[in-house]
Structures are given as C-alpha cells and as structure tokens.
Structure 1
Amino acid sequence: ARKDTDRSYLLGLANTKLVRVLLEAIAPTLNFEVGQISKLPVLTNRDSFGLERIKKLISLARADWDAYETSWDFTTLPLVVATWDAARDLAAGYVALRARWQAATDEMRRLEIENNRLFIDAYGLQDELSPDVPLSEVTLTCNPHYRYSSSYSKARREARLRRDTAAELVSYAVGCVFGRYALDRPGLVLANQGDTLADYMRAVPNPTLTPVEQNALTLVEGDWFADDLVTRVRAFVQAAFGDEHLPDNLAWLQDALAKDLGAYLRRDFYGDHVRLYKKRPIYWLFSSPKGAFQALVYLHRYRDDTVSQVLALLREHRGKLQAEIGRLQGAIDNDATSQRDRARASRALPALQRDLAEITAYERDTLHPLASQRLALDLDDGVAVNYARLGAALKAI
C-alpha cells in the first residue's frame, strides 16, 4: 500500500505544472536526464494527494490509448460498439461517441486541474502558478484540441476528427476483411506469421464476416473486379451494422471521409496506414509505378506463394484490359459505329493503353521474377527489412 501511495504521489507530481517550473530551473535545456529528475524536491507527507484521483487519470488515459489499433491492448473499435448501441446507425453512433469523448476530456481536465491545485498549494506556490489546464493540454487522442493544430477553427477540428474516426473505421474493416480482427470477439485473431483462414475459423467458428480466403485483394480504378477491397469493406459495413441503415451508413462514411469510399481506399488509405504505423505497415500494397495495378496483402498471412497470388490478379486484370482495348479499337474501326461512340472510344483508349503498358512492364521486370523466387519472410527481422526484400514490387514508403 505504501508503495502504491508513493508511486501515485510521484505520478501526480510528474504531471503537474509545478514540476515543469521546477525542471526548467534545475535543467534549462530541451531534455531532462535521470540526474535532474532525482533533484526534484518531494514532500514526505504524501497521503493527502489522493490515490483514487491518480488512478482515475491513469484509467482515462489508458482507455483512450487502448481505443486505437496501435495499442497492444486494443480490443475493438469504439465507433463499432457505439453504433451497435445506437440501433446500428453510424451517424447516431458517432454523435454518442463524440459526446463520450467530450465527457472524458472534461473529466480529465477537471482532475488535472485538481491535481495541479493540490500540489501547488502543498508547495506554497498559489501566488506564482495557476492550476488551470487548457483544453489543448489534455493529452487524449479523442480530444481534438490536443490532437490537431491550435490554428484550426472549431468546425475544422470537428471535421478532421470525424474524418479520422471514419478512416479508423475503414482500417478496422480492412483488419476484419483479412482476419486480423473479428466482429465476434475482441482483440487480435490472425496475428502470427503464416496464419491462415483455417486458423481463423477455429478461433471464430461462425463469424459474422468471413475473411478473404486468398491473402490479396485488388485496388484498381474502375469496376474491373467483382471482389476487391472496396466491395469487401462495403460488405463489412453491411455485416457489422445490417441492411436497415446500409445506404445511410455508407453515405455517412463517405461524407465523413469527404470522398467516395473507393477513391479513399485507392488513393488515401495506404498513406494513412503507413503514417499510423510509422512506416512499419502491417498491410502491404503491391503497386505498379503509377498505380495502374494495386493489390493489398496482410503481412501476418504472407506465405512464399503470396506474390504468385498477386501475380495471378495482375494477369487477370491485364487480360481484361486487353479485351477492353480490343473492344474499343474495334468500335473505332467499325464503320457502323456512331460518331459519338467512336469519339467516346477514342477518348478512353489511350489511358487503357498506358495502363496496359505499365502493368505489362511491372509484371515482366518486377512481379514475375519476384514470384518465381517464392521468397520467404521472417517477421523477426522486422518490417523495414522485410519490406525492402520485396523491393520495387511494393509501393515506396
């Protein structure tokens, strides 16, 4: 009990305005070493500083941290649970979640002000320091005043928070699509090297959403594939929240993202993912130089035939491009084609020809040679080392 009290006291002290002032006097530099920390004056009577208040502050901070998938203790996305509690309506779920976030922020701020006041009073510095804590210093990720630039207007902060929350939902959806997560159980499901769909089905025998069997999904412009990452994320929204609100839920998601779901997944998702995981992504994007062909895979389900699966998808896409180019060229050459249809075909043809040339070169020079190697990865080597092994086959990060 004494140890808990001492730890509580030291944590409370270390997170006050008071300690900042003391450290600035002891060590007027940009960083603090152990020696400077050890010089902080501490009081011998520590029982009056409130263990429960410190525990509550820790609990609020931990709950906020664990609400995001980069936490080791992440279980499920709060927006999903909030939407389930709101009759599976995403818009209503977000409103309820935003209110809970604000309540947590307000409570954290209140407790931090109280913590400051107790320590400032104990050290007799009431006339020197104010216990107040600006909203921008309440260090919860769910607090947009802390999370975003102080130059943002209120409307811009709220729009950015809504957008990022929608992006987090898409990221969680991608995790469910590949089997990293499940709607039916908390925490990680497939997260060990070489995990398979069979492993998932043993862990989640009757899943609400069955993950993709093959560890590769395309992300190409247009409706070339009936089963791609875009259709799978839409299927996640339907499986998670049902049919009743499906059009409204998809509309909310796209409105929050400020763009079409397909456009977000093809153009923005991977950049967001790489930033979230600090250039150590768990989903890897195979991409031709200008993105005419793209396919996403999940690192923890990677096997030595994964590149061959991607290659098969590329060849399928190449075949479809060739067929469409042939159809358009035939329309242009056919005297019976109307002038309007010939003009439309003439406009569409060059872009498809460029895409075909790009993915043909990507297949020949990069993807086919790599697939032939049946390259194995060792996750113990780390993401950076393994990412480099696949080289130009992957989108540069």
Structure 2
Amino acid sequence: MLTVNRRHSIHKQFQATRDRQICRAWRVERHDKTGRQHRSARWVLAITGLRKPTCTGRMIKKCSLAVIGKVSAPASRIQDNFYGKFKRLFEKQGSVASNEELESRFFSYPDYLAKPDDFKKIPGSPVAYWSSGATKSAFEKGKPLGDIAPVRQGLATADNDRFLRFWPEVSFLKIGLGIKSRDEAKLSGKKWFPYNKGGDFRKWYGNNEYVVNWSDDGAEVHSFRPKAVIRNPGFYFKKSITWSFVSSAYFGVRYSDVGAVFDVGGSSAFPNEDDAFWLTGFLCSKQAFDFMRVMNPTLNFQVGNVSALPVLENAISPIKKELSDLSFRLIELHKKDWNKFEESWGFEVNPLADKKIKILSNVYNELMLEYEGDVEETIRLEHKVNQLLINAYGREGITSADLPRKQATLSVNALYRYNSEEKDGLSQRFKSDTLSELVSYAIGCMMGRYSLDKPGLILASQGETVRDYLSQIPEPSFAPDHNAIIPLTDQEWFPDDATNRFRDFVCTVWGEEHLQENLDFVAESLCLHAIKPKKGEAALETIRRYLSSQFFKDHLRTYKKRPIYWLFSSGKQKAFECLVYLHRYNESTLAEMRTDYVIPLTTKLASYVEKLEQDKDASTSAAEAKAIEKELGKLYKQQAELNTFDEKLRHYADQRISLDLDDGVKVNYGKFGDLLAEVKQVVGK
C-alpha cells in the first residue's frame, strides 16, 4: 500500500485549516480490476475547519484515506476507475471530544472500500462511503417520495417582525383555526393564521407557535413583494407533514392538520388522505433519518433531499395499515402532550387542577405515573414503526429499532425536555417546573384568561372585560380580578395580591381541609429549582417570594420574551410591582393602578414607617433597635422610589395610551418607558 512519508501529511493539511470549523480530508487510490493499486493517487480536501492539528507531529503511514467529519463531496470529482478506502472517525459533528481521540480512531478504526459507481446510486452522488448495500438498493429501486406527496418550500415574508406573531400576542378572535382553503380564509375575515415555521426538534405533533398575517388572502404580504417571496400558495391551508429545515441533531417531522400557511423553515409534504399517516410514520422513522444523513450529512433537511427519499411501495404495502395506526396513535400522544401546556392554543386546564384527588402531592404522583406511561408507550410504538420499516427495507443488523429515551419528544419526558443524557436531578427540576406551571395557570384564572369552570381560553381578545367573562360563566367558583391588575409585593399590603389570591385558588380547587398541606407542597416544590429554600420560612412566604422574585422571569421564558402578563415595577427596591393582563388592558388601566394601589400604598408605607420610628425610639434593646433601623433604611428607599414611580405613572396615565395587539408585544411593551420591568429583554433596545 502506498504510504505517506513526506511533509505533505494529513497533519499539514489540518495545520493549514486550523481556524475553520471542521476539516475533512481523504485520499483516493486507483486500483485496477484485480484490485492492484496503481502508483498514482490524488487528494480531495473539503475544508470546514479544525481548531488544532489532529495528528500532532506523527506521520500517517499505511493508510489510503482519512475522513475527519462527514464527507459529502460529489463523486463526479473521482474517476470511475478509482477505489477509495475510507475511515469514519465520528458519525455526528462534534461527537468526538478531542483531537487525541480522533487520532486514536484514525489508527484503530476499520476501512471502508467504495467506488464512484456506488455513490452515483444516491441522489446528488454524495461520497457516502459508509452506506450499506441495502441503502444503495433502496435508492435504486424505490419510488421518490416526491412522486407520492409533493414536497414544497413555503412563504418567505422578508420581514417577520411585521408579518409574524406568537399566537398569544394577538386577539384570539382574530386567529383563524381549522381553515381548509385560501378562499375560506379570505371569507372568514380573520387576520392571523397558523404558520408552520420549523422550530426545535420535535416529532409527530407540535411546534404550533406562530401565526402569520394572511388577511385578505395575504394582501399585505403581496404588497411587500419582491422582498417577500410567496412560494406555492396553492398548498396553503392543506393538510401536510412538516419539518424543521435546520437541526442540530435529528429529523423533526410533524403531522399538521388543515389550516396552516408554511414557511421555508417549515417546508412541507402534501400527501393525499390515504397516505398521510403512514407517510408521517415513514418520515419520523430512523430509516428515513438514515437516508437523509446519507444524502445530506449537514443536517439541513432540504426539500430536494426529502423529495428524493426512496419509498419501496411493494415492501410497504403489506404494512401500510399497521404503520398508519401506529402513527395515528403517536400523533395523538404528542398532541395530548403539546396541549398540556399554556403555549398551545389547545390548552384547556392545568393537569394538576384537573384531578379529583384533594391532596396535591398525591395528584402530582398520579400525574407522574400517567406521564411515564405516555413516554413508555411512545418508545414502544416508535420501536414498532422502526422495526416494520427495517424489515421492509432489509436493514436488519444495520439500523437499530430502539428509540433512546431522550428522543421520545414529549415535553413530559424530562430527558428530552432538558436535553439531558442522565436522569439525576431532573425529577426535582421537573417537579419544580410543574408547580411553577400551576402558579402560572392560577395567575391566568385570576386574570380571566382561564377558568376553573370551563376549559380553554375565556378572555383572550383585546378589550374583553369581566362582563364578557360572566356572560360565559355566570357563577364562577373562582372569580377573575375586576380590572386584571394583580399586585406582586414582597410584603402583604393588599388583600387581593397574587399570594392571597393563590391561596384562595388552592382552597377552591382542593378544599379547605388540606389547604396547608397543599400550600406546603407547592412551596417545597418551588424550592427544588425555581428558588432557593430559606430556613424557617412559612409556605405562603415562600410562594410570595417566588411570585415577587421569579415568576416573571419564568413567564418571559415560557412566552419567549413576548409576555402576556406585564410586570409594572417601581424599580430596584420593589416598592410596588403588579401584573397587568395585556388582553384586558385599556386606556384607564394606569389610572386605576394608581388610584387603587400606588396612592394607597404611599399612605400605608408612611404609616408603617411612622410606627417603626416610634418602636425604635421606645426600644430598650440595642439589637432590636438595630434591626428596626435596618428595616427603616429599606423603607426610606422604597418611599423615595414609590414617589418617583407615582410621578411617572401619573404622566403616562394622563396620556391614556392605547394598544393595538396586532402590533405585537415588542412594539406595545415599548410604549411605557421604564414603568415596565425587563424592557430590554422584550423590546431589544
């Protein structure tokens, strides 16, 4: 075998490209028909970078090919009578921890032998030297998926800030759901429609986060051409199978029912009714992902690659019914999972509040059993899907049917949710997050967004009031706040603050008998991750501390920096803070906030300061006097802060600022100066 014995070693190739991302180098040797090697050889180098030289100072001898990373150069660069020997040093970019490990694998891993004719069997002729005979045969014999279901790119707005919103930002009454055609969308009079935009890795169902302005058949988007590119409008609102165009790891394919416009990042396939479910199963399988990696190792899932996926119709025909049934059940499981959370427009009630058990810790334990069952069923069903297709494609022993638990894409699966390989510590974090979600749901019930007496959204459109709420629920078991202003103070100044109302919420849902036990469970759970525990703190004090210090941070994360409960804050000293529900805001809200809370709090603070000053003067204990003096110092700062806030609040209240929810949270949040907390995070300035 020809050896590399000069300074033109792989080491030098790496050294020359150390500032790029990944380096791929391979050598192709020429052999005759008997396999005898000719003396001529050529190098092919694809550079995408390596920070350090891999084979430090060591010559690479007796090797005809080294591949660092994934090779996808076209086989047309290699002459037909050349054979190549290949080493595959890692399967996924970045999965090898060190250059030393790469070097070790280079010398110890087996060779692959392949020729250009093999590569030409695969669409695009990638140098997929590791592909099996079964894979090549599938591409030779299979029918391109695009011949069964058209695969298309979608809309490119060229200005997402103008045309896209997260669905909770806008009035729910303006969102058109379940629309079946462009004509129906136009006749509906709705402005916003679901928009498939890709998103994080998730399979089967979900990522329904965005809406697009397609009012009057997209008139405003049409007016933005040529910047906006309106591709394939004839497929808008049709039932589809969609996926995320770019992924860091896996192929996230999801079933999408009628009613959505789709994006470039959420490219889609459009099967007929009979093919929708089994084809979703095929695309969600490990088999399809393996084919995708052969065609395009960069993990950019382009329409051309998806369209070229080979479908062995004769092999799939006998299993089509079973594959459809399995896929339908997996879609159901993932839809149920997606709808358990407020981020879904299909959310109805927090799962903890939907049980008849009166002890909250027991409710949680029962819920965990349900979640575990859903995860286990998903793993079992996906294994069946994979095994059916492995058998159909003759890939036994090549591809494993097993689904790693982390890849069961249910949000109730902690390994997937937190992108972790290990379970250690995740159960505590999951419990804390689950109880944080309960607190958020309770805030929603206080605002009138949700109700304990009726599932789903209640008040979720601009200008709606308690009167609208009562028209739907005449006798609520837990009444919404009359003006959707909920104080979040670190001390109890108002009987209707968030902490007291949360206590009432827990009492309403689970009863008076176990109230303290249930509050203790909430407080203990929050201290597992959301906030740090504080020795000797009562449950309501812990809940108050969470609401005052952490709730809005969690809310920002949940709603991706587009909050629907806005935190008005006097400043660093937290003299006064309150939540206001965006959809119930009106021109009088700031004046009511000032009249109902800020002015009364000014009086209460002054009275409390006066009392403490008297207590200090009367105290005979130096330690007690020092403690009072410390508290007074804090209160003096809060008084000054509250006075400044009151002046600003009066200024903005006099302006009677109006909002248009169609403008989005980013625009509307910026209208109130520094009255609001975390302005930079939301507005971006």
Name the TM tier (shorter chain).
over 0.9
Which residue, out of 641, 648, 659, partners 1:377? 659
- The answer on whether the counterparts of 1:230 and 1:262 sit within 8 Å (CA) in structure 2 is yes
Residue in 1 that maps onto 2:671: 389
**Is 1:282 the counterpart of 2:564 in the alignment?**
yes
Residue in 1 that maps onto 2:505: 236
Which residue, out of 350, 359, 363, partners 1:93? 363
Superposed counterparts of 1:237-256, under 5 Å = 237-256=506-525
> Aligned with 1:285: secondary structure?
strand
Question: How far off its partner does 1:342 sit?
Answer: 3.3
Mapped to 1, the partners of 2:481 and 2:302 lie a distance apart of: 49
Which residue, out of 578, 592, 602, partners 1:295? 578
Residue in 2 that maps onto 1:326: 610
**Is 1:317 the counterpart of 2:590 in the alignment?**
no
Structure in which a larger fraction of residues adopt strand: 2
Mapped to 2, the partners of 1:391 and 1:9 lie a distance apart of: 53
Superposed counterparts of 1:31-42, under 5 Å = 31-42=300-311
- Larger RCO, structures 1/2 (Cα 8 Å, 6+ apart): 1
**Is 1:197 the counterpart of 2:466 in the alignment?**
yes
Question: How far off its partner does 1:30 sit?
Answer: 3.3
> Aligned with 2:272: secondary structure?
helix
Change (3 A) 1:209 1:381: same
Residue in 1 that maps onto 2:348: 75
Code of the residue aligned with 1:212 in structure 2: it is D
Mapped to 2, the partners of 1:170 and 1:106 lie a distance apart of: 28
Structure 2 alignment gaps of length 5 or more? 1-270, 528-532, 534-541
Code of the residue aligned with 1:148 in structure 2: it is Y
**Is 1:354 the counterpart of 2:624 in the alignment?**
no
Mapped to 1, the partners of 2:667 and 2:495 lie a distance apart of: 34
> Aligned with 2:568: secondary structure?
strand
Question: How far off its partner does 1:145 sit?
Answer: 1.6
**Deviation readout 1:177-218 (Å, 9 max, x if unpaired):** 111111111101111111111111111011110111122121
Code of the residue aligned with 1:66 in structure 2: it is N
Which residue, out of 388, 399, 402, partners 1:129? 399
Mapped to 1, the partners of 2:299 and 2:671 lie a distance apart of: 38
Which residue, out of 191, 201, 210, partners 2:479? 210
> Aligned with 2:476: secondary structure?
coil
Question: How far off its partner does 1:37 sit?
Answer: 0.9
Mapped to 2, the partners of 1:153 and 1:38 lie a distance apart of: 38
Residue in 1 that maps onto 2:410: 140
**Deviation readout 1:281-338 (Å, 9 max, x if unpaired):** 1100001221332011111110101111222212221221122222223344x4x542
- The answer on whether the counterparts of 1:181 and 1:190 sit within 8 Å (CA) in structure 2 is yes
- The answer on whether the counterparts of 2:379 and 2:403 sit within 8 Å (CA) in structure 1 is yes
Superposed counterparts of 1:155-166, under 5 Å = 156-166=425-435
Question: How far off its partner does 1:28 sit?
Answer: 2.0
- The answer on whether the counterparts of 1:208 and 1:240 sit within 8 Å (CA) in structure 2 is no
Code of the residue aligned with 2:412 in structure 1: it is C
Mapped to 1, the partners of 2:655 and 2:427 lie a distance apart of: 49
Which protein has the larger Cα radius of gyration, Structure 1 or Structure 2? Answer: 2
- TM-score, scaled to structure 1: 0.94
Q: Decide which moves more: 254-263 or 41-50.
A: 41-50
- The answer on whether the counterparts of 2:487 and 2:498 sit within 8 Å (CA) in structure 1 is yes
Code of the residue aligned with 2:295 in structure 1: it is I
> Runs of 4+ in structure 1 displaced over 6 angstroms?
none
Question: How far off its partner does 1:240 sit?
Answer: 1.1
Q: Decide which moves more: 40-49 or 123-132.
A: 40-49
- TM-score, scaled to structure 2: 0.55
Structure 1 alignment gaps of length 5 or more? none
**Is 1:182 the counterpart of 2:459 in the alignment?**
no
> Aligned with 2:455: secondary structure?
coil
Mapped to 1, the partners of 2:484 and 2:277 lie a distance apart of: 47
Question: How far off its partner does 1:378 sit?
Answer: 0.8
> Aligned with 1:284: secondary structure?
strand
- The answer on whether the counterparts of 2:415 and 2:421 sit within 8 Å (CA) in structure 1 is no
> Aligned with 1:286: secondary structure?
strand
- The answer on whether the counterparts of 1:114 and 1:131 sit within 8 Å (CA) in structure 2 is yes
- Give the length in aligned residue pairs: 389
Identity %: 38
Question: How far off its partner does 1:151 sit?
Answer: 5.3
Question: How far off its partner does 1:153 sit?
Answer: 4.0
Q: Decide which moves more: 293-302 or 222-231.
A: 222-231
Which residue, out of 372, 375, 389, partners 1:119? 389
**Deviation readout 1:230-267 (Å, 9 max, x if unpaired):** 10111111111111211111111111111511111111
Residue in 1 that maps onto 2:64: none
Question: How far off its partner does 1:355 sit?
Answer: 1.0
**Is 1:363 the counterpart of 2:632 in the alignment?**
no
Q: Decide which moves more: 128-137 or 254-263.
A: 254-263
Superposed counterparts of 1:47-66, under 5 Å = 47=317, 48-49=319-320, 50=322, 51-66=324-339
Change (3 A) 1:115 1:191: same
Mapped to 2, the partners of 1:9 and 1:327 lie a distance apart of: 74
Mapped to 1, the partners of 2:637 and 2:306 lie a distance apart of: 62
